[in-house]
């Protein structure tokens, strides 16, 4: 019987600080390790796992060293990394990322501010706990005039880079207003309170890929057509008038 690949990753908290952040995030999200398919690992020997599952390594940059990286490579698994910057300067963090040998930016995500670590992990957990987690936003930042939006899709940190010029609803406002945004705790949208604007993952996709917009519109039209036919068939079978059906 073939093994089943789990959508939810096994989480290896590689140091005490990361373990504390992950535990607090589980508590904040209302989820619990060992329930609903979640599994946390507190040692480096994950080869005894009975299922083939993605591996997420949560690691504080100050604790990364070459010996532990060697141990990780011996597991013969391809992990994704959630790094917490800790007290290291950015230059030193860049060195650690190079040590990890990660060439695909979808396999790594860095949380630079300590106060953002717990909310970030909580959003990550809630996103993956939701059955339709693809497109849930777990992080966002401005890089000059480009908004970078992150979502956990197919066990990778997928990043959309959306130029400001593609976001017409944000144009005509100042940088301070652009920078003041909040991410919904479930990752459903980003909210700009000063502007009363909500944008979700699909809208960001449509902004940078017009074909995605057309596809979404076509899907909506197909749904509406099918829904209309179903309602008409129901009316005919039940001998109902249009006014008899509410909504």
Q: What single-letter DSSP state applies at residue 48?
A: T
Q: Counting runs of H as helices and runs of E as strands, what totals does the chain give?
A: 7, 11
> How many angstroms separate the CA atoms of 73 and 23, rounded?
25
The CATH architecture that domain 1-129 belongs to is: 3-Layer(aba) Sandwich (3.40)
> How many angstroms separate the CA atoms of 143 and 34, rounded?
38
**pLDDT tens-digit series, residues 9-25:** 889 999 999 999 999 99
Residue 5's pLDDT band (boundaries 50, 70, 90)?
very low
> How many angstroms separate the CA atoms of 219 and 225, rounded?
10
User: In whole numbers, what is the pLDDT of the chain averaged over residues?
Assistant: 82
* Domain positions in the chain: 1-129, 134-208, 215-244
Q: Please list, in sequence order, all residues whose beta carbon lies within 8 angstroms of the beta carbon of residue 198, skipping any fewer than 6 positions away.
A: 189, 190, 191, 192
Provide the pairing of β-strand 55-60 with 80-84: parallel
- Domain 134-208 classification at class level: alpha beta
What are the helix (H) ranges across the chain? 16-29, 66-74, 90-100, 114-129, 175-179, 201-208, 210-238
**pLDDT tens-digit series, residues 77-126:** 889 999 999 889 989 999 999 999 998 999 999 998 888 899 999 999 98
**pLDDT tens-digit series, residues 209-240:** 877 656 655 555 555 566 567 666 666 666 65
> How many angstroms separate the CA atoms of 20 and 24, rounded?
6
Q: What single-letter DSSP state applies at residue 172?
A: T
pTM, entire model = 0.76
Q: What single-letter DSSP state applies at residue 247?
A: -
Q: What pLDDT does 149 receive?
A: 96
Could you tell me which residues are beta bridge partners of residue 161? 148
Rounded to the nearest 10°, the torsion over CA 212, 218, 221, 226 is -120
């Amino acid at each position: 019987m073939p093994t089943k690949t789990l959508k939810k990753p096994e989480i290896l908290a590689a140091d005490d600080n990361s373990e504390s952040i992950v535990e607090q995030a589980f508590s904040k999200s209302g989820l619990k390790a060992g329930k609903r398919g979640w599994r946390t690992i507190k040692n480096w020997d994950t080869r005894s796992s009975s299922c083939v599952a993605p591996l997420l390594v949560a690691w504080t940059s100050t604790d990364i060293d070459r010996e532990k990286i060697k141990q990780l490579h011996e597991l013969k698994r391809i992990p994704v990394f959630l790094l917490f910057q800790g007290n290291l300067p950015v230059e030193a963090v860049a060195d650690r990322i190079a040590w990890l040998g990660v060439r695909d930016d979808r396999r790594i995500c860095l949380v630079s501010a300590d106060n953002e670590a717990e909310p970030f992990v909580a959003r990550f957990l809630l996103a993956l706990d939701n059955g339709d987690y693809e497109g849930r936003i777990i992080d966002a930042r401005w890089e000059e005039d480009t908004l970078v939006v992150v979502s956990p899709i197919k066990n990778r940190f997928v990043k959309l880079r959306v130029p400001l010029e593609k976001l017409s609803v944000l144009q005509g406002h100042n940088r301070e207003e652009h920078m003041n945004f909040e991410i919904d705790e479930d990752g459903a949208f980003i909210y700009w309170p000063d502007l009363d604007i909500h944008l979700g993952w699909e809208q960001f996709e449509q902004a940078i890929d017009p074909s995605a917009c057309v596809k979404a519109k076509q899907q909506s039209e197909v749904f509406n057509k099918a829904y209309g036919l179903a309602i008409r068939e129901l009316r005919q079978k039940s001998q109902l008038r249009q006014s008899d059906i509410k909504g």
